[in-house]
Amino acid sequence: MKKTLISLGIALATMTVASQASVSIATQSYQEQIVNGSTQWVQAVKVVPGTTILYQNTLTNNDATTTADNLNIVNQIPTHMEYLDSTAACSVACTVTYSVDGGTTFDVPSNLYVGTGSTRRLAVASDYTTIKWLITTLNASATESVQYKARLQ
Amino acid sequence: MRVFIYFIALSVFSFSKGVSAGTVITNVAKLSYNISGLGFKASSNTVINIVDQVVDFDIICQESTNLLVEGGQKAVALTFKLTNVGNGTDKFTLFHETNASSNFSVSNPLIYIDSNKNGIFDIAKDKQVKDVNLSEDAQATLFIVSDIPKKALPTGSISTNGIHAVSALVDGLSYAQSKNIGSYFVVNGVTAGMDKAFCGYEIHSMQLLLKKSSTLSSDKLFTGTTIHYKIKVSVLGTGTINNVVINDNIPKKTSYIPNSLKLNDKSLSDAKHFLKNKISVPIGDITQTNTSKPIYFVTFDARVK
């Protein structure tokens, strides 16, 4: 019995739980609009080719007592959108990496290449397929956000 | 005119391609994290944006210069090209317009579409139209076909005629407005949803131009010097001049050198073309168009007596 309980405890410790998450994530899109003479980001409604859209992912730790750590947010850049260079950001300290292979691997821009043989070159922002932000900790009841901008082709 | 103005921003640019109107753009983010050593996952909502339609089009005169015409000509075509440079299908209503600075007005102006897409107006094949449907990036060649008045007009008189195209989708909205069409918006990228272009008819009566020149077989004229005469025959204006015959007397104190008469380097018979000290070279009808400009050279030699 004791051995069984210990085994079960170990199994629970290593199991990734897909439900009962205390951190939620919500995404929203914004576009620039002139409001009372000044440029503001408002919820995106009318998007036409060439529009820059700001995507913001908000993380909320719904647990009032527990800190979450090692938060990885992965966002595939939507089809027909081109990532705008150096626009990935976080509301707290974070590490940002990118993928050019659909999210299989991630690295910093200086290590990202596309093409093979004579056509191999350093990737540019429009080559990026996916963005990953890594936030170390999210305190209990805290809210933070990550964002990026992309242009509609 | 290709001016695209955002509904919501002050950027101004033009484009001929872009993501098609109605395309659905989705964004979703995935989260993984740990709590007390346990791993968790979460997924965001899916945010959806639908690509709106930008109405933008160009209409351009295809004539490089004014089209030379003569009084009384019928069904003369000016060529235009209409291009939908927006990102969705639109219908364009077409109107004929004359520029107020024109020296004369044409009669019976009608708009035709190049139905067989050969770039040339053919009244038997091309259809008269009042509007045209174009999908994104599609083009249509259009013609204004008019009659030129018979009355005498000075050479150089110009009638400027144009096509005024109006987007049916935009329907008179100002560029700052847009309207909801089904699941997405139509944004007006062209001022007042319209554009226009003009081409010109220019009166030019046909003229036969003759230019005579000569070269010598020696530095100066001496007895026995051969003078090589060249008469350049060309036409000014478009149309046909009928039954052109070049006649020229052999100059005094010279004698015609037998068998020297040629038309475009082809020898002509003295028996038929040299009589009573005069050459006579029939060229026939000369037809000149904007793309075909024939030139003839009549040459003969004479010797100084």
pLDDT tens, chain A, 153 aa long: 444 433 344 444 444 444 455 999 999 999 988 888 888 999 998 788 999 999 999 999 999 999 999 999 999 999 999 999 999 999 999 999 999 999 999 999 999 999 999 999 999 999 999 999 999 999 999 999 999 999 999
Query: Which residue in chain B has the smallest CA separation from A44?
Result: B49
For residue B7, the model assigns a pLDDT of 31
Whether residues B106 and B220 fall in one domain = no
Same domain, B77 and B103: yes
Closest-CA residue of A relative to B177 is A46
d(CA B21, CA B86): 9
How far apart CA B194 and CA B186 sit, in angstroms, is 15
Report d(CA B233, CA B244) in Å as an integer.
10
With a cut of 70, list the residues of chain B below it in pLDDT. 1-17, 171-185, 188-192
Cα separation of A4 and A15, whole Å?
16
Best of A10, A20, A46 to disrupt the B interface (most B CBs within 10 Å) is: A46
Residues B106 and B241 in one domain: no
Choosing among 1.10.3470, 3.40.50, 1.10.3810, 2.60.40, the CATH entry for A20-152 is: 2.60.40
pLDDT (0 to 100) of residue B142: 98
Nearest CA in chain A to B187: A48
Domain count, chain B: 2
B239 shares a domain with B180? no
Whole-number Cα distances in Å, B128 to B77, B115, B117, B250: 12, 9, 14, 57
Q: Identify from B2, B30, B48, B137 which residue to disrupt to test chain A contact, counting A C-beta atoms within 10 A and taking the largest count.
A: B30
Phi (first) and psi of residue A127, to 5 degrees: -85, -15
Do the chains contact at A78 and B26, CB–CB below 8 Å? yes
Residue B288 contacts A where some CB pair is shorter than 8 Å: no
Prediction pTM value: 0.67
Range of the domain at B291: 207-304
What whole-number distance in Å separates Cα of residue B269 and Cα of residue B261? Answer: 8
Task: Say whether A73 and B30 touch across the interface (CB within 8 A).
Answer: yes
**Closest Cβ–Cβ partner in B9, B35, B51 for A152:** B51
